[in-house]
Amino acid sequence: MQSTSYKLGRFFLCRLKHDSKLTRSIVNFAREKRVKMAFFTVVGAVKQARLAYYDQVEHEYQKIKLDQPLEIANCFGNLSLKDGKPFTHVHAVLVNKAGKTYAGHMIGATVFAAELHFQELLGKKLEREYDQTTGLALWEFGGL
Ligand code: ZN
């Protein structure tokens, strides 16, 4: 296992704008506040969402289009750097009006109303790099 330790930085509570893009808003917020690493949760509701399931054999994301209003039952993510820029990795569990749940890797969603709890982490910059074994951009701790 590779790891490194971080200190807690600023903690933000934020209200995302109606009709904004969930993941893009978080990246923009990180840029604005000059945050390089963070983890966060989101509660609220979205108007539509795109989730994905990563096919471990084909090394491809299979997209799940959800064109309906959904509650965010759980949404958790982290922010690190990819190609030197803030990059989010977000997973979510979403629920429709019938109580049916959808879960997976979040590509994006349009906010109806959402609250963001955002914890900045201070320490060594954490970059994502392409990993041949999985085909994913994974955290690279620099030979630890
Ligand atoms: Zn993922």
Give the max Cα distance, the chain: 48
pTM of the complete model: 0.94
Residues 25-84 pLDDT 10s: 999 999 999 999 999 999 999 999 999 999 999 999 999 999 999 999 999 999 999 999
- Answer for the pair 40, 117: CB distance below 8 angstroms, yes or no: yes
Which residues face 136 on adjacent strands? 131
- How many whole angstroms from 43 Cα to the centroid of ligand 1? 18
Say if CB 88 and CB 23 are below 8 A apart. yes
H helices then E strands: how many in the chain? 1, 8
What is the residue-averaged pLDDT of the chain?
96
**Ligand 1 centroid from CA 79, angstroms:** 12
SS3 assignment, position 113? strand
Q: Where are the domains of the chain?
A: 10-122
Q: How far is the CA of 108 from the centre of ligand 1 (A)?
A: 12
DSSP letters spanning 22-66 = HHHHHHHHHHHHT--EEEEEEEEEEEEEEEEEEETTTTEEEEEEE
In which element (H, E) is residue 77 found?
strand 70-82
- CATH number for 10-122: choose from 3.30.9.10, 2.40.50.420, 3.40.50.150, 3.30.1330.80: 3.30.1330.80
Using the mean position of ligand 1's atoms as its centre, give its distance from the Cα of residue 122 in Å.
23
What's the CA-to-centroid distance between 49 and ligand 1, angstroms? 15
Cα–chain-centroid distance for residue 127?
15
Q: What percent of the chain has pLDDT over 70?
A: 99
- What's the gap in Å between 83 CA and the centre of ligand 1? 18
Model confidence pLDDT, tens digit, residues 78-114 = 999 999 999 999 999 999 999 999 999 999 999 999 9
